Each structure stands twice: as structure tokens, then as C-alpha cells.
Amino acid sequence: MSAPYPVAIIGVGNMGGAMAGRLLDRGWPVHVCDCLPARSQALAARGATAHANAADAAQAAKLTIVCVVDAAQSQDVLFGAGAVADAMHLGHTVMLCPTLSPGDVEAIALQLRPFGLHLIDAPMSGGPARAREGSMSLMLACPPTVFERHRALIETLSNKVFRISENPGDGARTKLVNNLAAGINLVGAAEVLALAQRMGLDAAATLDVIEQSSGQSWIGSDRMRRAIRGDLVPRAHMTLLEKDTRLALQAARDVGFDGPLGARARDVFAQASAGGMSELDDAALLQWLSRDAPPG
């Protein structure tokens, strides 16, 4: 296994910060940058090198992990003012972790080529706790040579690595399918617990049954336990699954697929966000669907 080398992480919020903590604990030199400097400084106190701009962080690294929110932020970080792509050295690698449309990933891969940079299409799933312990899922699309070059880093970040293909965009496609399933499952879990409460049942006791029966889902258990406690501090903002389900439905339209559930789940996340829950954890769907005047 190769020795640890400098890694930059651009965007150290919930997931990026958890990944940085994981790498630091295992002896990797980590350079960080975030639009909120306090996040970088918190990691600097644990041994990371904090930078005021993304280009400086990337220039110091062999691989740069982009862990921002969406395509616009990814484009800005990579190719905007103070561009990461300009700062990185020939032959180095960008690991692109946000949930993006396949077309956006393909476009970024093409844009990186003139800079002599490799791309790992690497969306992730599992939440900050699993990222911190190295058990999140990584869905990778990249050439085998690039994977082998960075195998040690990838396997430090995750013990659930799925090599999808060599084609940029296939990681994104896999993530969107997964996140559409997550969104459908979460809406379903919130709906049935809201119904249980309306029937006069205890939500926690009902969830005990579901978790040991045919209705169990990981995201349902994870989010609904927090919702029952009233813990809506955002680990995953409502707007993230709003975005991801919207992107999944766009990808479905691109291939001529029209399923019965995805659009309804997308609409529920959009309505909850518009209804004042955008800054809350997506566990807040239980409160949203328990309201006296249900959405839609």
C-alpha cells in the first residue's frame, strides 16, 4: 500500500469534514478550504492545513476532493476565479463527490482534460457518521490505472467501494438511482409514522415493529428515530434530497423512463422545503406530514 500523500478537500461541511477527520486520524496530510472559514479552522486544530482559497489547497495536494453542494459550486471551484484546475499539477487527480447530473460530470471530465488532470466520478452515500468511520459507500467511475494509483486513499475513506465503470457519469447515474430509492423510502417511512400517530399509536413503538419487519429501511430508521426525538439538526438538509430526487427524475426523462413513485417523492421534498423546512434535517418530513393540513 502506498504511503500517505497530501490530499486537499474543498468543502468541509458535514461530509467533507467527516472525510477530513477520517484521513487525519490515519496519518494523511490534509489541506482544507471552505466558504465558512470556521470549518477549516476546526480541522486545523486537529492537524489539517487550512487555506483561505481552494487553489492554494489544491496546489499542495496530489489529489483534490471536491465536496461542495452542486454543479454550479463544482464548476466555480474547479474553473472559476482562483481555479483549482489551474493550480493542480499535471497528472494529478480530482475526486468529484457531490451528487450531480450525469451530464454535468461528463462535462467536467471534458473540461479537465486540457489541464492534464484525471477525474474520479465518486459520489458517496451514508451520512457523516459513516464517512467518519470509513463505512460510507463510494460509487466510482474512472480508469483502472487511476483507481490503482489512489487505491490506498479510497480504501481509507471507505470499506464499501463500488467500481461502476470507467465512464464519467456512471457514478452519478448510480448515485441518483440510489438516492431516488432513499427519497421514496424516506417519504414512505414518514408517511406511515404520521399515519400511526393519527391512529393514536406510539411512533417509537411502531418504528420498533417496522425495524424488525418487512417495512424496514435504513434511511427510514435513521431519520425517523431522530424525528421522534425532535432532533432536526441538519446532517442532511431537506434541500439535498429535494435536489437529488429532481436530478434523478431528469435522468429518468433522459432515458424515457416514467415510474409511479419518484415524481411524488420529489414533490414532497420540494413542498417541505418551500414550506419552511429547507434548513432542517430531512427527518423533518415526519413533522411536515403530521401537520393538520397536509401538503398537496
The pairing of beta strand 124-125 with beta strand 137-141: antiparallel
With the C-alpha atoms ordered 284, 289, 291, 295, is the resulting torsion angle positive or negative? Answer: positive
Phi, psi of 173 (to 5 degrees): -60, -45
Question: For the chain, what is the radius of gyration of the CA atoms?
Answer: 20
Three-state SS for 60-100 is CCCEEEECCCCHHHHHHHHHCCCCHHHHCCCCCEEEECCCC
79-100 burial, b for 16+ CB within 10 Å, e for fewer? eeeebbbebbeeebbbbbbbbb
Q: How many residues does the chain have?
A: 296
Q: Considering only CA atoms, which of 246, 207, 209 is closest in space to residue 223?
A: 207
Helices (H), the chain: 14-25, 37-44, 54-59, 71-79, 84-87, 102-112, 128-133, 144-149, 151-157, 170-198, 203-211, 218-229, 238-254, 262-272, 285-289
175 has catalytic annotation: yes
Choosing from 62, 160, 175, 243, which is the catalytic residue? 175
The pairing of beta strand 124-125 with beta strand 118-121: unpaired
CA angle 45, 133, 70 (to 5 degrees): 80
* Residues annotated as part of the active site: 175
